[in-house]
Every structure is written in C-alpha cells, then in structure tokens.
C-alpha cells in the first residue's frame, strides 16, 4: 500500500494517490469529508480554516461506492487559491514579479531558511508553500480510506489530546470515551475531560493574549487489532519503528512515544512489563496492564495500540522572533503570515490518519489479497489459528 501527496498551501489544490487497496472495499466519500472536517476543528486554529471547507473529490479507483483495485486519486481544492492566482501562477506573465509575496525573513523553527538555502531560493515562498501543514489535508483523506479498509475487520483508530502547554489530562481514558469524543459536533481542544480541557483552553487564551503559540501532546489509539501485525525479525518490519516515522513526519511533531515510554524509562522493570494471564473460557491470553502500548518486539499483541505525538508550538508568531533578512543579511524580525496558535487536536486527527495508513500496510502485508474477499478469507483463517493456539 503506497501513497503520495502533492500540492502547495496556496496552490490550486492538494492531490493524493493511494495504490494497493484491494478491490471491493466499501467507500463512503461522506466519511472522508467528515475526517477532513475533524482536521479543521479546534480552538486555536487560524483564519484559513474560515476560508476552507475541505472536501475530497475521488476521481479514480472508486466506482459504485467501492474500490476497484486500481490507484485512487483524490483532489482537495483550496478555496484560498482564488486569492493567490497571480502570486503563484503556473506560468509567468508580464507583471508576475511584482505580484509575488516574497518571504525573506525566515521564521525560526519553520523550514524557511534551511529550505531556501538547500533549494537556492532567495525567497522562502516556495519552501513554506510545501512545508505547511496544509499538506496534511491530503494525508487525512488517504487515512480515511485506510480507516474504511480497517473497519472491515472491526479495527478503529481514534485520538484525543492529553496535553496543551503545561495543562495535562491527569487520568486514564477508556475506549468508549474516545468514541463519544469523536462524535462531538463541536471541538474545543479534543480532550475527554471538561475540567482538563478548560485548563488547556486557558493556556491557548494566554498564547492569544501574548502573540505566542503553544504545542502539546496527542494520543492515537487503535482498537480491536489482531495479534501479529509487524514483526521482530528485521529493523524495518518492527511496527513501532514504522509508526514512529509516520508520526514524526507530521509537521511540528518533534517527539513520539509508544505506550508509557517516558514512565518506563524512570522505573524498575517489575513496574513496566504487562504481566501475562490465561483464562480458558473467554479471554484466553490476556494482560495485567497495557504499558507497552500494544506492541512487544515490534508486533501487535492484541491490546490497544497507543502512540503519542509531541508537538512543538507552531513557528509563526504574531510577536515575531529574531531573524535575518536573507537578501540584505541585516537583523530583522521574522515574517508573520496568518497562522494558527494551537493545532494539537488537528494533529491528533492527522496522527490517526498516519497510524491507519501504517496499520493498513501491515494488514495487507500479513493478509494480502487483490480483493477484500481474499483479504478476509486469509484474515479469518489466521484468527481461527490464533484462537486455537
Ligand atoms: C493549514 C493551513 C495554513 C496554516 C497552517 C496549516 O494556512 P495559511 O498559511 O493560509 O494560513 O494555517 O500551516 C502552518 C501552520 C504553517 O506553518 O504553514 C492547514 O490547512 O492545516
């Protein structure tokens, strides 16, 4: 299962292709659009989200509401493009040079400076257009298709926010709470606990007041996974490593945690491992806890998968930091472009998409199939084998 995205933040559209989903997977475009809607929510998003109502056009690979096995191409149009047609034209016209919106004062933390030097532009415009997290719209659309494939096997992927700045959620959360949260029609900060969410909102309010930005931590969980996705046998088949790459590839994510990694690094082994128990009647092999986050040796162990992304604050600040103008080389305040103040809930939705894509890949590696029917037969046979273990 392979996917690619293309598109600039203020270009005509975002594009994605997804190749390798079996034929016969039921696809709902409304569900794709619902995921896109979820990505746009949250207290702290910037003015751009008022312009856009992201909707996916599935232009290939899906017919009569199901996949046909061929590559799926998705287009998401940027409404803001109408304000940028002369700034970012495909072909230069006579007055193109004057219409440009050059960014010559790179923002610390953004790709602006390193990208401009690397690609040899004296203006970071083309760099930021692609580095922008707007690209994640395309990933979420692809993730929504991966989710619909996984749902055929009862697997669900959801997220919630556990920290914004210093405000933390201080209790455990069960799966049903995440389901309820995902169905809310209004998203504040994506936290299941209203008291913790109020504290999180106070931090975002402070960032608004002071012209600053704030990061945090989101947690993605996958529920109902079979035992045995991923493998211990080589470094690149270990599912934990693949999930870590997927999460770290999200804009502004600087750290990733699987299960209770931070806690595990500070306590003795006897407090960390999930003890093994057996009950013949129902639960068969089961565990005393889930500190490993559903992965042992890079293999899913049947518990919920728990992956967290640690997000740094967005690098575009209304109260800009020190920088240098790339053309004059003089000290200058970093550029300010309209931006978000806090994006942790949206990053959680993007994290869900990335986790769903990696899990769908692992599913297809294990169960294969040109058609959903074939995938399912292989899956059912394996589940029977696990039951008899
Ligand atoms: C984003 C759209 C962008 C930014 C954000 C992500 O819109 P605009 O740049 O037009 O305001 O809000 O991108 C960044 C945080 C960034 O640093 O580039 C989106 O759709 O998520």
Mutating to test ligand 1, I would choose from 47, 87, 132, 313 the residue with most ligand atoms within 8 A of its C-beta, which is 132
């440009």: which residue's tokens?
100
Does 341 reside within a domain? Answer: yes
Per-residue pLDDT at 232 = 98
Contact 61, 67 (CB under 8 A): yes
Which token pair is 178? 């995440």
Q: What is the pLDDT of residues 72-131, one digit of tens each?
A: 999 999 999 999 999 999 999 999 999 999 999 999 999 999 999 999 999 999 999 999
What tens-digit pLDDT sequence spans the chain (389 residues)? 999 999 999 999 999 999 999 999 999 999 999 999 999 999 999 999 999 999 999 999 999 999 999 999 999 999 999 999 999 999 999 999 999 999 999 999 999 999 999 999 999 999 999 999 999 999 999 999 999 999 999 999 999 999 999 999 999 999 999 999 999 999 999 999 999 999 999 999 999 999 999 999 999 999 999 999 999 999 999 999 999 999 999 999 999 999 999 999 999 999 999 999 999 888 899 999 999 999 999 999 999 999 999 999 999 999 999 999 999 999 999 999 888 999 999 999 999 999 999 999 999 999 999 999 999 999 999 999 999 99
Nearest to 100 by CA among 84, 113, 82, 111: 84
Q: Which residues carry a binding-site annotation for NADP(+)?
A: 39, 45
Does 96 reside within a domain? Answer: no
Tell me how crowded residue 290 is: count the other CB atoms within 10 A of its CB: 17
Residue 132 CA, closest ligand 1 atom number: 18
Which residues lie closer than 8 Å to 259 by C-beta, 6 or more apart?
290, 291, 292, 293, 294, 295, 306
Residue nearest to atom 12 of ligand 1 (CA): 339
Find the CATH number of the domain harbouring 301.
3.60.150.10
Does 187 reside within a domain? Answer: yes
Q: What is the pLDDT of residues 19-29, one digit of tens each?
A: 999 999 999 99
Ligand 1 centroid distance, CA of 218 (Å): 19
Q: Which residues carry a binding-site annotation?
A: 39, 45, 130-132, 251-252, 297, 312-316, 338
Residues pairing with 277 in the sheet = 286
Does 221 reside within a domain? Answer: yes
Ligand 1 centroid distance, CA of 247 (Å): 18
Does 377 reside within a domain? Answer: yes
Residue 39 CA, closest ligand 1 atom number: 21
Ligand 1 centroid distance, CA of 182 (Å): 23
Does 264 reside within a domain? Answer: no
Does 141 reside within a domain? Answer: yes
Where in the sequence is the domain holding 21, given as residue range(s)? Answer: 2-88+101-259+294-387
Q: What is the pLDDT of residues 211-222, one digit of tens each?
A: 999 999 999 999
Model-level pTM? 0.98
Name the domain count of the chain. Answer: 1
Ligand 1 centroid distance, CA of 131 (Å): 9
The binding-site residues of ligand 1, defined as CB within 6 angstroms of any ligand atom, are 9, 46, 48, 80, 110, 128, 132-134, 137, 314, 316, 337-340
Does 288 reside within a domain? Answer: no
d(CA 157, CA 353) in angstroms, rounded, equals 8
């Amino acid at each position: 299962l392979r996917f690619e995205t293309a598109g600039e933040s203020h270009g005509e559209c975002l594009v994605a292709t997804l190749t390798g989903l079996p034929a016969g997977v039921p696809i709902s475009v409304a569900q794709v659009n619902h995921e896109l809607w979820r990505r746009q929510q949250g207290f702290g998003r910037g003015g751009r989200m008022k312009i856009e109502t992201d909707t996916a056009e599935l232009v290939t690979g899906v017919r009569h509401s199901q996949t046909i096995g061929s590559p799926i191409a998705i287009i998401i149009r940027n409404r803001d493009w109408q304000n940028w047609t002369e700034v970012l034209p495909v072909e230069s016209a006579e007055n193109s040079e004057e219409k440009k919106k050059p960014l010559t004062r790179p923002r610390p933390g953004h790709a602006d400076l390193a990208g401009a030097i690397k690609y040899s532009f004296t203006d970071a415009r083309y760099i930021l257009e692609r580095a922008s997290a707007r690209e994640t719209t395309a990933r979420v659309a692809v993730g929504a298709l991966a989710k619909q494939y996984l749902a055929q096997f009862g697997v669900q992927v959801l997220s919630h926010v556990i920290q914004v700045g210093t405000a933390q959620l201080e209790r455990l959360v069960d799966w049903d709470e995440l389901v309820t949260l995902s169905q809310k029609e209004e998203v504040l900060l994506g936290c299941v606990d209203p008291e913790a969410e109020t504290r999180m909102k106070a931090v975002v309010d402070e960032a608004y007041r002071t012209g600053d930005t704030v990061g945090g931590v989101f947690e993605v969980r996958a529920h109902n996974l079979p035992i045995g996705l991923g493998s211990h046998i080589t470094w690149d088949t270990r599912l934990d490593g693949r999930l870590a790459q997927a999460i770290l590839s999200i804009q502004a994510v600087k750290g990733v945690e699987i299960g209770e990694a931070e806690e595990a690094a500070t306590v003795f082994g006897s407090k960390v491992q999930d003890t093994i128990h057996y009950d013949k009647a129902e639960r068969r092999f089961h565990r005393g806890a889930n500190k490993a986050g559903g992965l042992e040796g890079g293999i899913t162990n049947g518990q919920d998968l728990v992956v967290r992304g640690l997000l740094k604050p967005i690098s575009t600040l209304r109260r800009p930091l020190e920088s240098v103008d790339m053309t004059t080389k003089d000290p200058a305040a970093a550029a300010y472009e309209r931006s978000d103040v806090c994006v942790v809930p949206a990053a959680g939705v993007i994290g869900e998409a990335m986790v769903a894509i990696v899990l769908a890949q692992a599913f297809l590696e294990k169960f294969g199939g040109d058609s959903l029917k074939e995938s399912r037969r292989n899956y059912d046979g394996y589940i029977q084998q696990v039951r008899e273990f």
